Structure 1
Amino acid sequence: MTRENSIFGALALGQSIWCDFLSRELLRSGKLDEMIEAGVRGVTTNPSIFENAIGKTSDYDGDILSLVRQGKNREEIYTSLTVADVREAADRFLPVYNESAGRDGFVSLEVSPLLAHDAEGTVSEAQTLARLTEKKNVMIKIPATPEGMKAIRRCIALGINVNATLIFSREQYGEVAEAFIAGLEDRSAEGKPVSGIASVASLFVSRVDTAVDKLLASGNCGGSLAGKIAVDNARAVYMDFETLFSGLRWRSLEEKGAQVQRPLWASTGTKNPGYSPTLYVDSLIGPHTVNTIPPATLEAFLATGTVGMTVSSDREGLKHRLGELKALGISLDEVTGRLLKEGLDAFEKAYILLLEGIEKKGQSLSG
């Protein structure tokens, strides 16, 4: 595979491309190996992804039957199946992890969505998942709720790699970055090393345009802002990243070997067919960033993507557009707050559907 494709082009500008999907079929068919050869440097998962992979295929039926016969309940079966896939994927990405000195090659596994408002429960499950996967290149995904922030800080202090997920706003991002930095400071204060701990802050992108565009259309004004606010929001977060990880406070940790918590652009598949299929990839390329891309968008980026240093582009324009949005009476904070709730609800629903599906499959297969 040539190293001259758009994925390697983005990497040359400091961005790692990860795949936002994992399944047994992807692992066993050789498709994941092809992605790695093409430059993909990590994988993210979530309950919706596993609901599609496990609940809607027969690929896991043999394992489900075996686990049912062992007396495992549906939650234990879910954990066993997902941990097995994540461990296998982590092994595939281990060369990337080693080559990048521990800055890439990660596979993410999410804690139960039912724990989104339970800091203590989240920390406990994060420790369990880290122990079960037992791979240095696994990240535990924790939703960026108020209780999730506490869990993120504690997990970083414990030395667990964390993918802080379901971030929609600049305020959320700032709190996640603070939790990460404070967690490293807690760890350092305990006399423990801060090197070798990796983290990303996953900002969901396309859903912001989906929500804002509807409000713009209903108001019959601000049409020029359509398809612009999601990228502006992400670029504003990147500005905050540059500030937070350049001051004296961060430098003191960096001198001890700490690595930055990279902004990760999530939900980057284009939902509006009128927009470019690579809009949320082409527009957000730059140093110390990750873009986790669904397979279809990944193919489009390889075929027609445009590579350039874009994440810091048009800063005056973004300030103007965000100000114009506010002047129209549209509160971006209200939009992102609603999106967080909807995201939490969607992941919880997918998780429960998957557990119910596993239970039904188990009963049917063992019947």
Structure 2
Amino acid sequence: MTTLNQLEDLGQAVWLDFVDRKFLADGGLKKLVDEDGLTGVTSNPSIFEKAMGQGTAYDDSLAAFDRAHPEAATIARYEHLAIEDIKAACDILRPVYDRLNAKDGYVSLEVSPYISDDTDETIAEASRLWGRVDKPNLMIKIPGTRAGVPAIAASIANGINVNVTLLFSIEAYKAVALAHAAGLEKRVAEGQPIDRIASVASFFVSRIDSAIDKKIDELGSDDAKAVRGKVAIANAKLAYQWYLDFIESDRWKALAAKGAMPQRLLWASTGTKDKAYPDTLYIDTLIGADTVNTMPPATMDAFRDHGVAAETLTADVDDARHVLAEAERLGLDLGGTTDRLVEEGVASFVKSFDTLLAAIAHKQPAAA
């Protein structure tokens, strides 16, 4: 048993924030499932850019697709490759999904970042991708933007598993958690089952510290330095406290009585970006029941080697409140920062998607 396995005993699922065709074909994902208890995979445009835009692993599949669809648009060529990877990952994780009775074993595929501000387009694309992959352990990733919130509710109501991405603020998280509940309530009202619909709310961590720490360094005061590297963790801990309160509410208990699974908080962006911090900082400090931590491969390796598995998410909650109060007193503008990070996150995915599509476009269609 590895240190990663111990997280399961504490109620936290381990997901991999990475997908790549060679990794899947060579048994890398299955090995993590078998040896480390991995129960999920996340993908995004940046991950696919790195996987598809470099090397030759996808060339044979793309050539076969081009021969069958000589007039296909670049976006169709990308989707063909992405969906092949997602289906393969879903199949590898299907035994996990079956063993855990749909509580885990999910693979996430994101809607196009180009439509993040369009509710109707997001709903339509979530439904289309759900149908194309056609795997019960798929999750469709929808950004937690203002336009995304009603799309989340609608997709849940349509029976689609949803991974809400790009959450940075507690207020944004509350909105998507309530949207999840609203989607389930609509299904109940329509006489539809809700017991096998899963959702996670992906709360980004390290990016918050990267932004806030710059402001702390500019202030340079001892008071400011005292909260350096602590704001993101405090923010996440208080989001979890809201979750604990919500699942005890009458509204949620009515859904739970009909078999609803809670929307788990998922800690994303957990690779440490500041070398002054331990490389397992955002794993060690956020371990708790009914949560997920999706880790890039290097962070997963680091935690397996020297991470500490202990219940930490509910520890020092008063200190977390103090950290956020200090952040407000010091004028660090956490609210403005998180709003900006959402915009930057969408822009970053758009840029990665642009680069990815350009790389695929330059791979010439195969001769007939």
Using the size of structure 2 for normalisation, the TM-score is 0.97
**Pairing 1:1-367 to 2, within 5 Å after superposition:** 4-37=1-34, 38-69=36-67, 70-71=69-70, 72-221=72-221, 222-362=224-364
Q: Residue 182 of structure 1 aligns to a residue in which SS?
A: helix
Letter in 1 for 2:327: L
CA distance in 2, matches of 1:66, 1:355: 18
**Does the 8 Å CA contact 1:102/1:137 hold for their aligned counterparts?**
yes
Letter in 1 for 2:38: V
Q: Residue 315 of structure 2 aligns to a residue in which SS?
A: coil
Q: What do residues 303-334 of structure 1 show as CA deviations (whole Å, max 9, x unaligned)?
A: 00001000111111111111111111111101
Q: Which runs of 5+ in 1 are unaligned?
A: none
Query: How much has 1:56 moved relative to structure 2?
Result: 1.4
Q: Residue 193 of structure 1 aligns to a residue in which SS?
A: coil
Letter in 2 for 1:166: L
CA distance in 1, matches of 2:193, 2:109: 24
Q: Residue 291 of structure 1 aligns to a residue in which SS?
A: strand
CA distance in 1, matches of 2:337, 2:216: 12
CA distance in 1, matches of 2:218, 2:341: 18
CA distance in 2, matches of 1:319, 1:359: 49
Letter in 2 for 1:163: N
**Does the 8 Å CA contact 1:64/1:362 hold for their aligned counterparts?**
no
Q: Which runs of 5+ in 2 are unaligned?
A: none
Q: Provide the aligned length of Structure 1 versus Structure 2.
A: 363
Query: How much has 1:125 moved relative to structure 2?
Result: 0.7
CA distance in 1, matches of 2:58, 2:156: 33
Query: How much has 1:65 moved relative to structure 2?
Result: 2.2
CA distance in 1, matches of 2:111, 2:54: 21
Q: Residue 277 of structure 1 aligns to a residue in which SS?
A: coil
CA distance in 1, matches of 2:156, 2:227: 38
Query: How much has 1:366 moved relative to structure 2?
Result: 5.2
CA distance in 2, matches of 1:294, 1:29: 18
| Percent identity between the two aligned chains | 43
CA distance in 1, matches of 2:238, 2:55: 40
Q: Residue 102 of structure 1 aligns to a residue in which SS?
A: coil
Query: How much has 1:67 moved relative to structure 2?
Result: 2.2
Q: What do residues 72-113 of structure 1 show as CA deviations (whole Å, max 9, x unaligned)?
A: 211101111111100010000011111111111100000000
Q: Residue 279 of structure 2 aligns to a residue in which SS?
A: coil
Letter in 2 for 1:60: Y
Q: What do residues 275-320 of structure 1 show as CA deviations (whole Å, max 9, x unaligned)?
A: 1110000100010000000000000010000010001111111111
Letter in 2 for 1:67: F
Q: What do residues 185-228 of structure 1 show as CA deviations (whole Å, max 9, x unaligned)?
A: 11111111111000000000000110010000011121111111
Shift in alpha-carbon separation, 1:327–1:135, aligned structure 2, 3 A = same
Letter in 2 for 1:234: A
CA distance in 2, matches of 1:44, 1:189: 31
Letter in 1 for 2:269: S
Question: After TM superposition, which residue ranges in structure 1, 4 or more long, deviate above 6 angstroms?
Answer: none
Q: What do residues 143-199 of structure 1 show as CA deviations (whole Å, max 9, x unaligned)?
A: 001110010000000000000000000011000101000000111111111110000
CA distance in 2, matches of 1:300, 1:103: 27
**Does the 8 Å CA contact 1:5/1:302 hold for their aligned counterparts?**
yes
Query: How much has 1:57 moved relative to structure 2?
Result: 2.0
Letter in 2 for 1:57: G
Letter in 2 for 1:59: A
CA distance in 2, matches of 1:362, 1:133: 25
**Does the 8 Å CA contact 1:285/1:308 hold for their aligned counterparts?**
yes
